[in-house]
Amino acid sequence: MKASAASLYDQDIVAWANQQAQALRAGRFDQLDLERLAEEIEDVGKSEQRELISRRAILITHLLKWGYQPERRGASWESTIRTQRDAIARRVKRTPSLKRTLADPDWFADAWNDGRDLALREPGLSELPQACPWTLERIINPDWLPAQDEGRTHG
């Protein structure tokens, strides 16, 4: 790694990335910042995972609102649920290895906790289950919505 590549990374990551891409394409491997390149490549995967979990958290938030505030149900909640499910399905189709993230218990717990925390910010929602009452299959099923009284005993 050249010193200039290291300092460019700290000053302007986009310029650094372009410089690294040019060096790769030109076969100038001695100019590569290998450690940071490896980190950045790993971060691409982590970014995809974070996006998937974020979408699932938003989906869970709206499923909770749908299930626990039936009197406030509306087209916008249903639209958000549909949009998030579609986006999750597209992302997993384009990047099949994300299926592991979707099913991973730790990532599932993170999405549940984030979604639950967002839902608890809603006026009128103060008691929600600590653990997710739904399976992953239900959460991502485009034909499923929580029933009005489903989960009310899970508090």
pLDDT greater than 90 at residue 1: no
Verdict on whether the full-model pTM lies above 0.85: no
Contacts 24+ apart (CB under 8 A), 89-96: 89/140, 89/142, 91/48, 91/51, 91/52, 91/55, 92/52, 95/48
Side-chain half-sphere exposure of 23, counting CA atoms within 13 A: 17
Domain shared by 17 and 52, yes or no: no
* DSSP-H helix ranges across 95-132: 98-103, 105-120
Domain shared by 67 and 14, yes or no: no
Q: Is residue 132 part of a domain?
A: yes
Q: In this predicted structure, what is the pLDDT of residue 45?
A: 85
Average pLDDT, the chain: 90
Binned at pLDDT 50, 70 and 90, residue 4 comes out as low
pLDDT greater than 90 at residue 148: no
Domain shared by 91 and 15, yes or no: no
The token duo for 69 is 């505030």
Binned at pLDDT 50, 70 and 90, residue 64 comes out as very high
Domain shared by 105 and 57, yes or no: yes
Domain shared by 81 and 116, yes or no: yes
